[in-house]
Structure 1
Amino acid sequence: MLRSFKQYVLVPALALAATATTLVVTTAPADAAVVSVRVSGTLAARSGAANWFAQTRQIKNKQKVTVTCKVTGQYLRGKVRRTAQWDRTAIGDFISHAYVSGNPKLPTCVIAPPAPAPAPTTAAPVAPPAAAVPMGPTGTMTNAQFLAASIPAAQQSQRDTRVPTSVTLAQAILESGWGRSSLSANDRNFFGMKCFNNAPGAYASGCKSYSTQECTAAGLCGTTVATFRTYATAAASFTDHGMALKNLSRYAAAFNYVNDPNQFVAEVHKGGYATDPLYTTKLVALMQKYNLYQYDLAL
């Protein structure tokens, strides 16, 4: 596991959601919905499913907006709900579902494969397409963006495995250095998951050697080289992490404390997840500093 950890200042992700906007939805024919906006201000539509994407327009008070499908994007706390769902409008931009009253059953957006590149011409260059919606954390995000992008995957892991979302988020932050370690930025391994006998397991796509810090039982730490799993997507890394905790017998004791994240972390540490003697202390400090407990689901 990666042992190094740097302190960073986190701008709370929920602060990005500050607005007085509320949307009201009525069902429309086919698989779309007509959204009637009831606002005390205005609602920003964006080119992607997160507040760090460019604003495309402002939706005025009581203006109707047609939405056609949904995507997973930045987790926001709105006036109506807390959700990572964003609704794609008929003109192709996105609005946060956290401000939509009612809950129409929208289909998931199907992203078409990119068209083949055209042959070179002397014509003027065409503007590049809008940025794709991030489907999980990357190595180029701010701390606030990294946290917001990690919440949906961590909460899905809790639904699938009962690992508290707060624990998954704290481990992702600590093990990856907010996504900026080479292992996470290059190979989407956010939890320091290792390969054993050069076998990547069911969710990883391969193995690669990296330098890492390991500690002895006496607390003496040093640099060594270990083989770590590589992933095709960030989601696969989160899934692999949760399933490993759920299925490996050495972590079984932790699941007696699914409603006590601090003790859950202590049991995972005892089970051998990390050799750092301060591992539990560091994770609990992260959960407390950034109130990661607020993202835990009541299952």
Structure 2
Amino acid sequence: MKPQDFIALIGPAAQACHKSQGVPASITVSQAALESGWGESGLTKTAKNLFGIKADSLWRGETVMLDTKEFIRGQWVVVPAKWRKYPTWQASVDDHAAFLKRNPRYKDCFLCVSAQTFARALLKAGYATDPDYADKLIRLIGTYSLASLDGEGV
């Protein structure tokens, strides 16, 4: 999918989550773009999981098993993982915001005053194992002018 089409599809849902949960829309869209390969990843096509959110013991919804790459002890390794499965992309966007909001390890993200600092706080809190994760989000935000989705306050 073309980036512009992806942004047009998920942007409104991201903006709604920004208002209701406080996650900057630019973060939601950049994470979804990065994690899903602009909606083209196997996980996204199989499970409508835009954000690479794994299914932990608290998850009560459907799941799917797929391999993933993790950065462990300084190297990339392929490991099997159980992922959350959603009925729609909207459900994935909504759950992503709720997941960040209710998980105490991400509380510092919500103290941030910019999408860039939010991205760095996500990495620090352990959202991804990729040491370049925050920089990748920030680059996407700049390249595709995603900050325009945030409106005032972020």
Q: TM-score, normalised by structure 1?
A: 0.50
* Alignment pair present for 1:200 and 2:59: yes
Supply the AA of the counterpart residue of 1:223.
V
5 Å-filtered alignment, 1:169-180, equals 169-180=29-40
Q: Find the partner of 1:215 among 65, 71, 88.
A: 71
Q: CA RMSD in A?
A: 1.3
**Which structure is higher in helix share?**
2
Shift of 1:281: 1.1
1:227 is paired with a residue whose SS is: strand
Q: Percent identity?
A: 37
1:191 is paired with a residue whose SS is: coil
Shift of 1:275: 0.5
Shift of 1:291: 1.2
Aligned partners of 1:250, 1:294: CA distance in 2, in Å?
27
Aligned partners of 2:36, 2:128: CA distance in 1, in Å?
14
2:87 is paired with a residue whose SS is: coil
**Which structure is higher in strand share?**
1
* Alignment pair present for 1:286 and 2:140: yes
Shift of 1:298: 2.5
Aligned partners of 1:283, 1:183: CA distance in 2, in Å?
19
Matched with 1:165 is 25
5 Å-filtered alignment, 1:117-156, equals 141-156=1-16
Aligned partners of 2:4, 2:134: CA distance in 1, in Å?
23
Matched with 2:86 is 231
Supply the AA of the counterpart residue of 1:240.
D
Shift of 1:163: 0.5
Aligned partners of 1:219, 1:175: CA distance in 2, in Å?
20
Aligned partners of 2:132, 2:7: CA distance in 1, in Å?
22
Cα deviation digits, residues 46-92 of structure 1 (max 9, x gap): xxxxxxxxxxxxxxxxxxxxxxxxxxxxxxxxxxxxxxxxxxxxxxx
Aligned partners of 2:59, 2:104: CA distance in 1, in Å?
19
Supply the AA of the counterpart residue of 1:244.
F
Q: Give the paired residue count.
A: 153
1:192 is paired with a residue whose SS is: coil
2:8 is paired with a residue whose SS is: helix
Cα deviation digits, residues 181-235 of structure 1 (max 9, x gap): 01112211000011113x534xxx401101101012x421111110000001111
2:54 is paired with a residue whose SS is: coil
Q: Which has the higher contact order (CA 8 A, sep 6+)?
A: 2
Aligned partners of 1:282, 1:168: CA distance in 2, in Å?
13
Shift of 1:238: 0.3
5 Å-filtered alignment, 1:19-98, equals none
Supply the AA of the counterpart residue of 2:84.
R
Aligned partners of 2:152, 2:141: CA distance in 1, in Å?
17
Aligned partners of 1:293, 1:266: CA distance in 2, in Å?
15
Gaps of 5+ in 1: 1-140
1:213 is paired with a residue whose SS is: strand
Aligned partners of 1:148, 1:221: CA distance in 2, in Å?
32
Cα deviation digits, residues 4-35 of structure 1 (max 9, x gap): xxxxxxxxxxxxxxxxxxxxxxxxxxxxxxxx
